[in-house]
A and B are shown apart, each in its own frame.
Chain A
Amino acid sequence: MRNGDTAKMNQRSKTVATLGLLSALAIVLSIFENQLFGYINFIIPGIKPGISNITVVFALAVLDFRYAAFIALIKSTASFLATGAITVLWFSLVGSTLSLLGMWLIYKFTSCFTLAGISALGGVLANVGQVIVMIVISDSMEFIYYMPVLAISGVLFGSIIGILAKYCINKLPIKFDKKS
């Protein structure tokens, strides 16, 4: 086997292993967050930091859009299975899709933002997606009043998640071909 083939195979194995680990982490963090914030959401009801999004931001930065989309899909499915409610699946899918598309566009076509800003945009867009689903389901525009609070929490938690993702990438003992 040529050296080039071996290097390609090693890279592929590394990607598959990372994808598996990130998917598992996304499921665990999703369940953890649902359980934890089920008990403490009386502080600010309806607001969740979206800890599991760290796996999506991480995948977008070190792997690729396709892998990040795969993890987002796994995460949405985990949330759906945890609650058994189809509405939750729509919420999660639309929020994740909008968030990921926004993050990918800004990540691919601009160079002035760090992962904190990219993730903040993702946090806000996820909330925008969920409000859109709520408006469509209820056929009522009233849910738009939640946007300011959701945008502030999206920016706050999104930035923190982006900073954490960057920290993890820098601390990672292995390096990926793609630059973060």
Chain B
Amino acid sequence: MNRADIILCGVLIVISLLSLLIPIVDGDIVTIKQGKNIIYNGSIFQSKVIEIDGDYYNKIEIENGKVRYAYATCPGHECVNLGWISHGSTACVPASTIIIVSNNSKATVDEIAG
């Protein structure tokens, strides 16, 4: 590796670190999608188990402000190994399922009111 390589690697890492400037806050709404179809949308504080059948089976658990892939039949089980999340998103790529935890106070108010 020469000096130019090291500068290039440094620049790449610095550019990627810019994404950290977007503030991360714990979310209160869980949205589960299979492709673009919304399978579930609800509070992260409401305990729930969601099972999704498709190319691969997914079992998703929502509990105490956290959500995780509890079980999956996909080849790598990376989604399961990622564990609990309370913000951001996670996905099971082979199953095309996505969990998004977002902060949406309006939806929470609607949900409580409803």
A58 within 8 A of B: no
Known: A38-B75, A140-B89, A144-B22. A87 touches B94 (CB 8 A): yes
* Cα distance A41–B13 in the bound complex, in angstroms: 22
CB atoms of A88 and B78 under 8 A apart: no
Q: Find the residue from B4, B8, B101 having the highest chain A CB count within 10 A.
A: B8
CB atoms of A87 and B93 under 8 A apart: yes
A134 to chain B: which residues have CB within 8 Å? Answer: 91, 93, 98
Partner among B6, B20, B98 whose Cβ is within 8 Å of the Cβ of A137: B98
B12 to chain A: which residues have CB within 8 Å? Answer: 120-121, 124, 151, 154-155
CB atoms of B98 and A140 under 8 A apart: yes
17 A-B residue pairs with Cβ-Cβ distance under 8 Å, sorted by A, are A34-B75, A46-B78, A83-B94, A84-B94, A85-B56, A91-B93, A112-B2, A113-B2, A113-B4, A116-B1, A117-B5, A117-B9, A143-B88, A145-B88, A145-B89, A148-B17, A152-B13
B79 to chain A: which residues have CB within 8 Å? Answer: 45
CB atoms of B91 and A113 under 8 A apart: no
CB atoms of A145 and B16 under 8 A apart: no
A147 within 8 A of B: yes
A152 to chain B: which residues have CB within 8 Å? Answer: 13, 16
Digit string of B1-43 for contact with A (CB within 8 Å is 1, else 0)?
Answer: 1101110110011011101101010000000010110000000
CB atoms of B8 and A113 under 8 A apart: yes
* Cα distance A139–B36 in the bound complex, in angstroms: 8
Partner among A37, A46, A84 whose Cβ is within 8 Å of the Cβ of B82: A46
- The residue of chain A having its C-beta at the shortest distance from the C-beta of B12 within the complex is A124
B89 to chain A: which residues have CB within 8 Å? Answer: 138, 140, 142-143, 145
A150 within 8 A of B: yes
B67 within 8 A of A: no
* Cα distance A45–B69 in the bound complex, in angstroms: 13
Closest 6 pairs (CB-CB, A-B): A117-B5, A151-B16, A85-B94, A142-B89, A45-B81, A112-B4
A167 within 8 A of B: no
User: Smallest Cβ distance from B74 to chain A, in angstroms?
Assistant: 8
* Cα distance A86–B94 in the bound complex, in angstroms: 8
A155 to chain B: which residues have CB within 8 Å? Answer: 9, 12-13
